[in-house]
Structure 1
Amino acid sequence: MDRQNSDDIMKFLDGMASSDDVLFGFLDEGNHSPEDYNFAAGDESEVDNETTDCNSEENRKFWQEQEQLLQATLYRTSSIETKIRQATKEALKVVKSKGLVCVCRRPVTDGCRSCLRGEVSRRLREAGYDCAISKSKWRSSHEIPAGEHEYLEVVDKSVSKKGEIRVVIELCFRAEFEMARGSDEYKRLIGMLPEVYVGKTERLKSLIKILCTAAKKCMKDKKMHMGPWRKHKYMQAKWLGTCERKSVSPVSETEEDMFPVAKQRVSMLNNGLFGTGMGRPTAVAVV
């Protein structure tokens, strides 16, 4: 997933909204109850109809509860999260204005996601944040397969009484939970997520539980097998397990001169970094 082409990254960056736009759009969407399942009319007995109505009501309540839990978890925020969120947004603005050049051994036109992580991390460090690229890696077990994942992490020690605070930055958060065969209710829930997550690990832990519970319910209702890479423990391992931090070295003025900004390389970012896209509100951070 790290070496995605420019079209994929353009979709990721295209349509990002400002925090305020996302806040109101998110709440407006959350005020609507999920649609009930549609059941075909037939010659069922009165008992069957009552059972169907009961199942439909239970299903509606489940998804409504998940939306409320998700909304409440996303809405809460702290001052440090707000500061890092704003800094992340500014870093992405700089990437948009200057363009992203892939510096990998096998460069991808218009840059790759790995280079994007490195550039955002570098900008945050220049802004005074202890930001690094974190790589988690876990072994296979009887429940989940082995895997690895990269994301950004800011460690804050400004409040001595609270100790060390970890803030995770996942640039493609919503995409981590999307399912092509997900139900309408599940897709609606995922649509409420921010495109980019910026928040404490405690908040992320709560979100993972909500989303994995919803995914399990979705697969069960559709009578489909749930892949081990979608299980709760697998998703936890991505961001909450043991990880290795790698700081990105700052780029000198000489190095920047080696990579002049070319007009054509800005094409993947020219659709409005903080506009709306695909008919639904997206976000730069947790709201």
Structure 2
Amino acid sequence: MGSFGEEELDEMVRDYIESDQSITPVSLMRTSKPLPRKSQSSLQDIILEAKDVETRVLDRVLMYVRGMGEPNSLKKWVVMRLQRDGYEASLCKTSWVSTFGRKKVFQFSGDYEYIDVMIVDDNTGNKARLILDMDFRSQFELARPTQTYKELMNTIPSIFLGTEDRLDKIISLLCSAAEESFKEKGLHIPPWRKAMYMRSKWLSENCKKVPVIPNPGLVDLGASDAGKSTACCSSIF
């Protein structure tokens, strides 16, 4: 049984993109319907489902990273800032093994990091789990997207914060859109672009919280902006 790690998977992706496709185009095997325009509005609707408490946390995160460079490199720093401001935040790392092929003879492993934030629901008073991804949009980028998929990508925020339920809806919609994009281009769908694989990044059962050791120097970095508020950061969306 073949086994692939992250480096091997990256190489597979490059080979897939650069190879001269000699297989029968999918578009000739099955008629592809254009992605409905309503998918873009549906994605916007899901994003706008955010509750007030989610918006407050996201606004604070955007305030943290404003002018601080590449947000994805600031995950640990954002966790420390959230903890300092009284939030129950953690750095989480998921890992998984996926199989593919008709007889599932190939398998490859994957891992991913995101931020976990526990909040209290304003309406119920119950604890709720939020997932914060500092590099969300890039996870859904395609090498050869259709124009329709490009337009859909413009709707995706670079930084995502929301409940598992909202995230799952977004993954389902985007993976379905990616599937249509591949079909319209006459390409087969790579297994690492399917919804099951994508869900594993954030919703895998094998999820471990990574200890983040407080560093006062890092936490104080940019603290002068703490009193400022911003509803949105144009460089983030």
Same structural fold, with TM-score higher than 0.5 when normalized by the shorter chain? yes
Cα distance 1:145–1:66, how it changes in 2: closer, same or farther (>3 A)?
farther
Query: Could you tell me the percent identity over the aligned residues?
Result: 28
- The residue that corresponds to 1:128 in the other structure is 86
Give the residue type in structure 2 aligned to 1:209: S
How far apart, CA to CA, are the structure 1 residues paired with 2:38 and 2:71? Answer: 37
Q: Which amino acid aligns with 2:81?
A: R
Match of 2:24 in 1: none
The verdict on how the C-alpha distance between 1:251 and 1:177 changes in structure 2, with shifts beyond 3 A counting, is same
1:182 aligned to 2:140? no
Choose between structure 1 and 2 for higher RCO, CA contacts under 8 A separated by at least 6 residues: 1
Match of residue 160 from structure 2: 197
Larger strand share, 1 or 2: 2
Greater Rg by CA:
1
- 2-structure distance, mates of 1:161, 1:184: 42
Give, in angstroms, the shift of residue 153 of structure 1: 1.1
The partner residue of 2:77 within 107, 119, 129 is 119
Pairs within 5 Å for 1:1-287? 59=34, 62-93=35-66, 96=67, 113-114=72-73, 116-142=74-100, 145-157=108-120, 161=124, 163-242=126-205, 243-252=207-216, 274-275=233-234, 282-283=236-237
Paired residues, what number? Answer: 192
Structure 1: give runs of 5+ residues left out of the alignment: 1-54, 101-110, 262-272, 277-281
Q: Structure 1 residue 82: deviation in Å? A: 1.1
Higher helix share: 1
- Please list the CA deviations of residues 132-187 of structure 1 after superposition, one character each: whole Å capped at 9, or x if unmatched: 11101012323673211001110124669564311111111111101121111111
The letter for the 2-side match of 1:91 is Y
Residue identity opposite 1:224 in structure 2: L
CA distance in 1 between counterparts of 2:165 and 2:71 reads: 29
Query: Could you list the runs of 5+ residues in structure 2 that have no partner in the other structure?
Result: 1-30, 102-106, 223-231
The 1:156/1:183 distance shift into structure 2, 3 A limit, reads same
Within 2, Cα distance between the matches of 1:74 and 1:160?
19
TM-score using structure 1 length: 0.60
Decide whether aligned partners of structure 1 residues 112 and 193 sit closer, same or farther in structure 2, where only a CA change above 3 A counts: closer
- With structure 2 as the length reference, what TM-score do the two structures score? 0.71
Q: Secondary structure at the match of 1:274?
A: coil
What is the SS of the residue equivalent to 1:63?
A: coil
CA contact (8 A) 2:53 2:122 kept: no
